[in-house]
Amino acid sequence: MSSDADRREASEEASRERHASRGTETDGGTTADAEGETPAESDLPEDYGSGLSWPARYAREHVPHLVVIALFAAYPFLHAFLLESPVSAEAVMLLPDVDTMTAVLYFGLFAMSFDFISGYTGYLSFGHAVFYGTGAYFVVLTANGKVPFLPYDAPFLLLVVLGGVLAVVLSLLIGVVSFRLSGVYFAMITLGFSQVLYVFVRDWDYVGSSPRDGPAVVGPPDATAPAFNVGVPGVDALNLAIGGLAGDSVEGLFGFVNLSSTEVTYFMAGLVVIVCYFAMQRLVHSPFGRVMIAIRENEERAEAVGYDPFRYKLAAFAVSAFFAGIAGGLFAGVRRSVSPDNSLFFLVTGDALLASIIGGFGTLAGPLYGRLFDESVREFLSKEGAGGGLLPYLRNHLPEGVLGADIFGGLTVQEAIGAFLNGHAALYIGLLFVLFVLYVPNGILGTLRDRLGATVAKWAGARLSSGGDGASASPSGED
């Protein structure tokens, strides 16, 4: 590769940064006042469309987004409300915990980043967990004072971004080699790279006393563990610590809203995820994203038209690694611990794949719904019934006669549920997954878009084609 190409890469990187930062500002604004009021500032061109002021137009184009964000924002309150209501037992059984929802958010972000490269360019990144793990390990190791040149109490958001940058570096190294291959070979070589790192970290005793179980955030030997704050950098009042017991709780917000630390974690993680999602969403709908799709549909033709697929694939891979790293950092921040098996192992990529297929491959937002579905089923059939679930509910509500009834050979109903349902969500999710691959190849969101697309897309598409292209073409106009 010539230095010229590198420079072009760098300029692309810069243009992406511009995208990302714009996403940050606008969406940060949108979420802060929840229902999409005026974002503070933006560098969108002033001649964008006509008539309405641009924030109003932006909001109108993103009505589905705003509705979904509002639903997610309302969830903890709804959940709390239903737990107090007459149907509380049913709510405990069916609805996922706020804790679980937080997991849906950060893992959903990882699954989205996986979808960004795999769903849009068609290159199955089967070693994607390596970027997730990089972000997670970076945060935990820094907080334990084990990363040189970085103070253990560096701001959490900085750590998350740096973890993402580290993942980008790694992705460029892996990508330069891997993108010479395609199809199955690409999936396998990325898997190979990630497994090398997995096996290495699993036995690397620098990370902690028991590398196989992974390190927890304990802080450096002579200091206490740092808190992980999410919020506006530099303004203490606008920062809240995340992570279960270590997190902040809020009382008397606007005079009447009380949030437990679990709920604070949920909202703060959600904030990061929204920012990242809109950044990716913007990229997917930019000319850059069009080239990604062109590569998926017909790489030779994309090349013949004059795009250099290698550069675009590498750039897309780097972007996707960046957000995977952020997701990993967020995961480590929420859980305050990390292990090789829940961050670097290839089955973690498998989970992202699962979420992507169920939610909709190549839909970007779909994987979040896929993960929501996945986690809900898992919690519903969880062994302990910690967040509620089927077994505790049945135990409390079915009469003893039914529970103790014989099905066959001395096997009672209760035992049967215990043996075949509890803790075996993977079986049913696997079956559903197979059915989705066979009969709903577009996933939940993909199918919804196909069905409703005619009306919604016509309505939104007119807007996108008149305003969206013009707006997004300018920053990366060099192509």
Length of the chain: 479
Closest to another protein by CB, 43 or 297: 297
427 lies in the site for another protein, by CB under 8 A: yes
Closest to another protein by CB, 347 or 473: 347
Give residues 92-111 in contact with another protein (rule: CB under 8 A): none
Closest to another protein by CB, 10 or 419: 419
Tokens for 93, please give them: 């059984």
Closest to another protein by CB, 167 or 353: 353
Q: Are 452 and 63 in contact (CB under 8 A)?
A: no
454 lies in the site for another protein, by CB under 8 A: no
- Give least dist CB 249 to another protein, A: 38
DSSP SS3 for 230: strand
d(CA 340, CA 396): 38
Closest to another protein by CB, 70 or 427: 427
Closest to another protein by CB, 399 or 409: 409
407 lies in the site for another protein, by CB under 8 A: no
151 lies in the site for another protein, by CB under 8 A: no
Q: List residues bridging with 242 in a β-sheet.
A: 228
Closest to another protein by CB, 187 or 259: 187
Residues 6+ apart with CB under 8 A from 417: 390, 391, 394
- Give least dist CB 383 to another protein, A: 11
- Give least dist CB 356 to another protein, A: 9
Report CA-CA distances (Å) from 220 to 215, 217, 223, 371: 12, 9, 6, 34
- According to DSSP H, which parts of 298-345 are helical? 299-305, 309-335, 340-343
- Give least dist CB 433 to another protein, A: 4
Q: List residues bridging with 231 in a β-sheet.
A: 239
180 lies in the site for another protein, by CB under 8 A: yes
438 lies in the site for another protein, by CB under 8 A: yes
473 lies in the site for another protein, by CB under 8 A: no
173 lies in the site for another protein, by CB under 8 A: no
Closest to another protein by CB, 286 or 442: 442
- According to DSSP H, which parts of 336-442 are helical? 340-343, 346-359, 366-380, 390-397, 400-403, 413-420, 425-439
412 lies in the site for another protein, by CB under 8 A: no
Q: Which of 151, 183, 233, 404 binds another protein (CB under 8 A)?
A: 183
Q: Report the half-sphere exposure of 439 (CA within 13 A, side-chain side).
A: 5
181 lies in the site for another protein, by CB under 8 A: yes
67 lies in the site for another protein, by CB under 8 A: no
- Give least dist CB 377 to another protein, A: 12
DSSP track, 63-94: HHHHHHHHHHHHHHHHHHHHHHSTTHHHHHHH
- Residue environment code for 236-261, b if the CB has 16+ CB neighbours within 10 A, otherwise e: eeebbbbbeebbbeeeeeeeeeebbb
d(CA 91, CA 71): 17
Q: Which of 5, 87, 173, 177 binds another protein (CB under 8 A)?
A: 177
459 lies in the site for another protein, by CB under 8 A: no
Closest to another protein by CB, 147 or 191: 191
419 lies in the site for another protein, by CB under 8 A: yes
Give residues 121-150 in contact with another protein (rule: CB under 8 A): 122, 124
437 lies in the site for another protein, by CB under 8 A: yes
d(CA 244, CA 250): 13
Nearest to 280 by CA among 475, 19, 465: 19
- Give least dist CB 354 to another protein, A: 8
**Residue appearing with tokens 């290839």:** 346
Q: Which of 63, 169, 434, 462 binds another protein (CB under 8 A)?
A: 434
Strands 228-231 and 250-253: unpaired
Total residues contacting another protein by CB under 8 A comes to: 42
Give residues 317-356 in contact with another protein (rule: CB under 8 A): 346-347, 350, 353-354
Give residues 184-213 in contact with another protein (rule: CB under 8 A): 184-185, 187-189, 191-193, 195-196, 199-200, 202-205
d(CA 331, CA 351): 15
Closest to another protein by CB, 40 or 176: 176
- Give the gyration radius of the chain's Cα atoms: 23
Angle at 361 between CA 356 and CA 363, to 5 degrees: 105
DSSP letter assigned to residue 126? T
Residues 6+ apart with CB under 8 A from 84: none
- Give least dist CB 411 to another protein, A: 9
Closest to another protein by CB, 92 or 302: 302
d(CA 325, CA 318): 10
Give residues 367-386 in contact with another protein (rule: CB under 8 A): none
Q: Can you give the binding site for another protein, defined by CB under 8 A?
A: 122, 124, 177, 180-185, 187-189, 191-193, 195-196, 199-200, 202-205, 346-347, 350, 353-354, 357, 419-420, 424, 426-427, 429-431, 433-434, 437-438, 441
